[in-house]
Structure 1
């Protein structure tokens, strides 16, 4: 694993705007970096990233049934008691899921370590699946990269295949906060993949979803929502005013309700308990577990945190880094601290994508901080044999 500087492509910003990637820059700061890339060997990709990601996903899936059938585990994950049957029934019904992203620490030497599983509403999929692949092709055609340069990236094909596994509803709705450019761009990209799989689609703002007299979710034209991809987390949905209607129509949503237990940081100590000393896991504990006190260097994470909010890093009892936010009332977990790959660009986290049930791609984000946050930069990658 190396961070290599390359000449940026001429006109790449125009290309980004043409394909709806207007959020390549956010709040006056670059989000996409076109003049650098992380390079890996094929062996690194296959043995150190793809294979462990596949195994981690299978470990997670093996754990879901035990979590949803355990009141103690659901308590630990702060799943609202009145909606636990919704989560449980979703799993027992085998509601189909679409995708997720593991955040992994990797220093180019030891095994990758799982930091968390973004199993419900992961973003950066357009950048991973589409725009960094275009970067690869353009750089090969320009002679910057060798003709045999490759990328761990079959994400788009996998998405189209996965959408093809969903039965055809009259309309496959896609819901997001449409005034957020990144959320809208991500959702529109996924809509395009669904169209390629043969679905009729429509975009709706999450706030415009209504409820009819029978308690069914509806769109602005009062059409019943039979299936809906939602870029809106289950931990929010389970606590919204419309939550009482979820047991009737909650099966319509993608990701399904059972993903609420995989997108929760409480998954980390449950995985560690099931698979102690697994080479791709870090020791992790709920804060009331005596094992938590055994860690001198650790990361404290809220159960429901997103984009690094309210995450704190401690080394030898002293705070090394901390991020503000609005999470924490739901409880925390403690995870052993492991260093990230560090270069002149900062600290890098590997995002390893699972689509359907297959590990199929890699996206990398880096930040000057040790805590990856909302505006951390996206950097393409390349496999050089």
Structure 2
């Protein structure tokens, strides 16, 4: 694993905008960053990232079994009591999930370590599936990368396959997509997934979350009062369950994506559960609920809220250094995880996002930040494979 100075394409911004990607800069800061790229060997991808991702995912599925069977554990993970039964039924009925992203610490030498699982509403998907692939093709065509260079990236094809599964089971042939449409990053991710569903054969409808209604029989409905057979919502389940229409999630016939059982995985409480199930696993870090006496034994630890996003309210301690990120999370409780600093390349810390679609590892992305805590403005950097 190396960071290679590749330099930007002269017309890189125009090429991204031609693909309807408008957030190459966010809040005046560079977000899409192709000044450098990360080079991996094939064995690093297959042995150190792809295989461990699949293994961690299977362990996560076992953790869902464990969490759903233990109401006290669900309570400890801040899953509301009135949703316990619905979450368990969602898992028991094998409600299909679509995608997720593991955040991994990897330096090309030692085993990858799981930092967290973005299991419900991960973004950076369009960048990972399409933009970095187009970057690779341009770089090869221009001769700036060897023609044999490849990329760990079958995300788009796997997503089409996932939606084709739902298409084959669909009665209406319509798939609805909801997000907070004035959040540009969320909107672009949702729009991309809607396009994938269209390519899989669906009629698609894109809505703001505030435009979703409920009929007397608890079906979610759109602006034309059509019942939704399938609804993908890029909106956190842990928010939905506390809102007015959240109670309808328990009994709605509408199939929600991601399904309710994902609440057990999109929760930092997953980390101590995994560590208890598989202590000393090479791809896990010691992790405990904050009120566990064992948490005090970690000399260097990262304190994370059970429910938080983009590094908010995370506090990292390493030796005499403490880094804290502000935010609005933490009311539900915290976990602590042993500190394992991200590898540095130049002045930047790099985290690997390992994508899973329909239960299978299928690609990676890399984000860089000057801080060892990855946040919402961390830059996206492409990658390639070349031995």
**TM interval, short-chain normalised:** over 0.9
The equivalent of 1:111 in structure 2 is 111
* Shift in alpha-carbon separation, 1:283–1:250, aligned structure 2, 3 A: farther
The number of residue pairs the alignment matches comes to 384
Deviation at 1:66, TM superposition (A): 1.5
The equivalent of 2:351 in structure 1 is 349
The equivalent of 1:365 in structure 2 is 367
Which segments of 5 or more consecutive residues in structure 2 lack a partner in the other structure?
none
Matched, 1:224 2:192: no
Matches within 5 A, 1:203-282: 203-249=206-252, 252-282=255-285
Deviation at 1:250, TM superposition (A): 6.6
Conservation of the 8 A alpha-carbon contact between 1:168 and 1:199: no
Deviation at 1:277, TM superposition (A): 0.3
CA distance in 2, matches of 1:198, 1:360: 22
Conservation of the 8 A alpha-carbon contact between 1:103 and 1:352: yes
Q: Give CA deviations for 1:255-312 in whole Å, capped at 9, x if unaligned.
A: 0000010010000000000000000000000011111011001100000010100000
CA distance in 1, matches of 2:226, 2:347: 49
Report which stretch shifted further, 348-357 or 234-243: 234-243
The equivalent of 1:176 in structure 2 is 179
Q: Give CA deviations for 1:219-242 in whole Å, capped at 9, x if unaligned.
A: 111111111011001100111111
Matches within 5 A, 1:8-23: 8-23=8-23
Deviation at 1:12, TM superposition (A): 1.4
CA distance in 1, matches of 2:34, 2:363: 19
TM-score computed with the length of structure 2 as normaliser: 0.97
The equivalent of 1:381 in structure 2 is 383
The equivalent of 1:82 in structure 2 is 82
CA distance in 2, matches of 1:297, 1:251: 45
Conservation of the 8 A alpha-carbon contact between 1:3 and 1:36: yes
The equivalent of 2:198 in structure 1 is 195
The equivalent of 2:27 in structure 1 is 27
The equivalent of 1:331 in structure 2 is 333
Deviation at 1:339, TM superposition (A): 1.4
- Partner of 2:23, secondary structure, is helix
Conservation of the 8 A alpha-carbon contact between 1:86 and 1:250: no
- Partner of 1:58, secondary structure, is helix
CA distance in 1, matches of 2:134, 2:171: 32
- Partner of 1:23, secondary structure, is coil
* Shift in alpha-carbon separation, 1:169–1:319, aligned structure 2, 3 A: farther
Deviation at 1:215, TM superposition (A): 2.7
The equivalent of 2:159 in structure 1 is 159
Q: Give CA deviations for 1:76-101 in whole Å, capped at 9, x if unaligned.
A: 11100011111111111110100000
Aligned-pair Cα RMSD in Å: 1.1
The equivalent of 1:320 in structure 2 is 322
CA distance in 2, matches of 1:254, 1:345: 38
Conservation of the 8 A alpha-carbon contact between 1:90 and 1:251: no
Deviation at 1:319, TM superposition (A): 5.0
Deviation at 1:216, TM superposition (A): 2.2
Deviation at 1:63, TM superposition (A): 1.6
The equivalent of 1:40 in structure 2 is 40
Conservation of the 8 A alpha-carbon contact between 1:5 and 1:37: yes
Q: Give CA deviations for 1:62-83 in whole Å, capped at 9, x if unaligned.
A: 2211111101210111100011
CA distance in 1, matches of 2:10, 2:321: 43
